[in-house]
A and B are shown apart, each in its own frame.
Chain A
Amino acid sequence: AQSVAQPEDQVNVAEGNPLTVKCTYSVSGNPYLFWYVQYPNRGLQFLLKYITGDNLVKGSYGFEAEFNKSQTSFHLKKPSALVSDSALYFCAVRDLAGGDSWGKLQFGAGTQVVVTP
């Protein structure tokens, strides 16, 4: 079975400072990993994904994430946070060996990011 953990309910950071949102996962096979962002009363926007290849993945709006297989982590990072980055961030995993032909995603609980001016 696949699972995702986002250990922090909320992350507070000052504008201009680095932002990190943590994510760890558990799968039986190789994972597809994703980050999505959600603004209030809106759907999820795709930020980036790791499928294969380079462990450092660059995505939208200056975000990047590093796949670390030994630590089973996929932390989201941004070098310099903006107030407009304040939103709810979800990590998700798809287990390629899970026997699920539909490719269902398992989402973490979400991390609220608050960037203060």
Chain B
Amino acid sequence: GAVVSQHPSRVICKSGTSVKIECRSLDFQATTMFWYRQFPKQSLMLMATSNEGSKATYEQGVEKDKFLINHASLTLSTLTVTSAHPEDSSFYICSARGRGGTEAFFGQGTRLTVV
């Protein structure tokens, strides 16, 4: 299957700082990318969807000014958590789907801890 690389796998940051998470499709062009948040022992909560070159579409209740998503190219999307707070600590996962593709492929996830 297609490979999606997410970096970093773990990050610890101080309250008030910003953190950037990268999601790259390594062997296909990702026309659509999704960002999820997962709480312990819970399902994935979709945060936003982005198409290359377009602004991201955020799910209800997700603050777009806090979770900045950039889908700058067909192989790269970034999620920036701005002014992070301890309640933002979570597991963040990206997924990507190619043009005409039926299934999405997932990154390895990023464990964010805000102290």
The interface of chain A, by Cβ under 8 A from chain B, is: 32, 34, 36, 41-46, 49, 51, 90, 102-105, 107-110, 112
Contact = CB atoms under 8 A, between A and B. Distances in A.
A46 B108 contact: no
Given A102-B57, A103-B32, 4 more contacts: A43-B4, A49-B103, A110-B41, A112-B41
Given A46-B103, A102-B32, A108 B43 contact: yes
Contacts of A105: 34, 46, 104
B43 A90 contact: yes
B69 to A, nearest CB: 13
Contacts of A36: 106
Nearest to A45: B106
A112 B109 CA distance: 18
Nearest to B51: A102
A32 B103 CA distance: 9
A34 B101 CA distance: 13
B93 interface: yes
26 contacts: A34-B103, A36-B106, A41-B109, A42-B108, A43-B4, A43-B93, A43-B95, A43-B107, A43-B108, A44-B44, A44-B93, A44-B106, A46-B1, A46-B105, A46-B106, A49-B102, A102-B49, A102-B51, A102-B57, A103-B104, A104-B49, A105-B46, A105-B104, A107-B43, A107-B44, A109-B43
Interface residues of B, number: 27
A49 B57 CA distance: 26
Interface string B6-48: 1001000000000000000000000010100000011110100
By CB atoms of chain B within 10 A, which of A34, A105, A112 has the most? A105
The 6 closest A-B pairs by CB, nearest first: A43-B106, A44-B106, A43-B109, A43-B108, A102-B49, A109-B43
